[in-house]
Amino acid sequence: MNIISVKNLSFKYEKISILEDINFSVNKGDYVALAGPNGSGKTTLIRTVLGLEKANGEIFLFGKKIKEFNDWGKIGYLPQKASFSTPIFPAKVKEVVSLGLLSSKKHPKRINSFDKLKIEETLKILDIFNLKDILINNLSGGQQQRVFLARAIVSDPQMLILDEPSSGLDISSRENFFELLKKINKEKGVAIILITHDASDIGKYANKLLYLDKKILFYGLFSDFCKSKEMEKYFGHFSQHLICHQH
């Protein structure tokens, strides 16, 4: 199944070119590491795919043009530096996760008994059920990221998009988080796009690499990237080896 298809996409900000001639597709079960240097357009690309930025070109989601697509419950999104901290409205873990269901509900937006069971099931999958009544502000960074991931997957999306989700996590929390994503990808067939600044780290989990620097320099299997003489010339043998050595 073709989940995302991007054709001839370009984006400018105040006449400055950010993205140029972007073409790629993501299918069911893909796990794509979206990597590139700072300022390469990674987050902007995701924002255009989600319709948060208007770009030139064509974007199709689940076979529909983005203007016609309205089934956003199929896509879970974990933005960079996700937060839910406010002294005015302190939220419990189960309340934060419930937002992943409310966003796709029609009026009246209420959580029913079935939703409550779904929230509890998701919390158990991510091993944070015991935290359901704890205020989100009182959790560690690793625990908060699990909560935000729970919010993103509680609606059973077919696609997960995550922007630097391991930023700020310690090594142990990061490894556990990536293992959770791998499990969701393998066992549920959920397609994943994960923005990362460290392609060598994600190579243990993702099966595809999209390397971006305003233009797509490479998109394909990690194994093909590692064999590519063209990529060796571009990155140099040492940098290419760093990206490949953990895969």
Q: What is the pLDDT of residues 41-98, one digit of tens each?
A: 999 999 999 999 999 999 999 999 999 998 888 999 988 765 554 544 578 999 999 9
The parent domain of residue 177 ranges over 2-244
**For residue 177, which of 201, 148, 145, 202 has the smallest C-alpha distance?**
145
Of residues 146 and 210, the one with the higher pLDDT is 210
Grade residue 195 by pLDDT with cuts at 50, 70 and 90.
very high
- Report the run of H or E that residue 7 belongs to, with start and end: strand 2-13
How are beta strands 2-13 and 191-195 bridged, if at all?
unpaired
- CATH number for the domain including 68? 3.40.50.300
C-alpha pair distances (Å), 154 with each of 77, 106, 115, 129, 245: 11, 17, 9, 13, 34
Average of per-residue pLDDT across 147-162: 91
Query: Is the pLDDT confidence value at 25 over 80?
Result: yes
**Does pLDDT of 28 surpass 80?**
yes
Tens digits of residue pLDDT in 219-234: 999 889 888 888 888 8
Mutual angle of helices 93-102 and 141-153, in 10-degree steps: 30
Residue 34 has pLDDT above 60, yes or no: yes
Count of domains for the chain: 1
Closest CA to 193 of 202, 168, 89, 136: 202
Residue 53, SS3?
coil
